Copies of this chain bind each other. A is one copy, B any other.
Amino acid sequence: MPDIILVKPQMGENIGAAARAMANFGLTNLKLVAPRDGWPSDSATANAVGAFEDIVNVEVFNSVKDAVALYHCVYATTARPRDMRKQVFTPVDAVGNIIEQQSSHQNTAILFGGERAGLDNDDVALAQNIITFPTNPDFSSLNLAQSVLLLSYEYHRQNNQNLAAFVPTGKSDIATQEELNEFLDRLETELDKKKFFRNNDMRPTMIRNIRAMISRSDLTNQEVKTFQGMLSALIGNKIQK
């Protein structure tokens, strides 16, 4: 996975929030270059809500050059275009690239600049590639921790694409067609008794529509029992004990 490098971050709060974001999405290595308010700091610890304890390792460096020394490829995040001939990636494409690189055992890191002015040109020059977020051009400023969050999320998203997209909640079993039809037949009978189907021509269509709207939601057997119970109550039958 990529390492995260914060270059001259100013506020401990943002270091903590960045670490929290990394921990949320499973990134574990954070490097700090010359943090203005020092390291460790109470504000960083408070905002990390535990991320530094078990998950995120921190190393501190004096220069960007030292911090990036051991990587095969470094990406610099910038909001504005730079005068350098480097490839500019969206987060999606950058992460796709990073995942390919890690599959060939290359170590990668992503550089983020400080809160006020971002990375300076000398820092960007130490990177091979640039990442720019596709934000609203009329409102493009992302804060430091948010930028770290988005790249962490994007990494996790692409790295876990094969996970099941849909997890059913609830433990009840889906009703069988028999249970469902028993209810639908009974509903039809009761509606007939109450003269619900006034028009015999429309009757088959109405019945089909009623069956479709009730059966398309994959009712559980407990839910079918609930429908049965509601029907009994509404037509005024004694509720069974």
Q: Which residues of A contact B (CB under 8 A)?
A: 20-21, 23-26, 49-51, 54-55, 81-90, 92-93, 130, 132-136, 138-143, 146, 149-150, 153, 156-157, 160, 163, 165-170, 172, 187, 190-191, 194-196, 198, 206, 209-210, 213-214, 216-220, 223, 226-227, 229-231, 233-236, 239
Contact = CB atoms under 8 A, between A and B. Distances in A.
Contacts of A223: 85, 209, 213
A170 B83 CA distance: 5
Contacts of A219: 213
A96 B90 CA distance: 19
A146 B21 contact: yes
Contacts of A136: 23-26, 55
B236 A92 contact: no
Give the one of A23, A87, A153, A190 with max B CB within 10 A. A153
Given A134-B160, A233-B194, A234-B235, A82 B140 contact: no
B24 A169 contact: no
Contacts of A50: 139
A167 B234 contact: no
Contact of A234 (B139, B142, B191): B191
A3 to B, nearest CB: 17
Contacts of A239: 195-196, 198
Given A49-B141, A194-B233, A194-B236, 16 more contacts: A20-B139, A20-B143, A23-B136, A25-B136, A54-B139, A55-B139, A84-B169, A84-B170, A85-B168, A90-B165, A194-B234, A196-B229, A196-B239, A234-B234, A234-B235, A235-B235
Nearest to A214: B217
Contact of A24 (B89, B132, B139, B172): B139
24 contacts: A20-B143, A23-B139, A24-B133, A55-B136, A81-B169, A82-B169, A84-B170, A85-B218, A85-B223, A86-B169, A87-B168, A88-B168, A93-B165, A93-B166, A134-B157, A146-B149, A187-B230, A196-B233, A198-B239, A209-B226, A210-B226, A213-B223, A213-B226, A216-B217
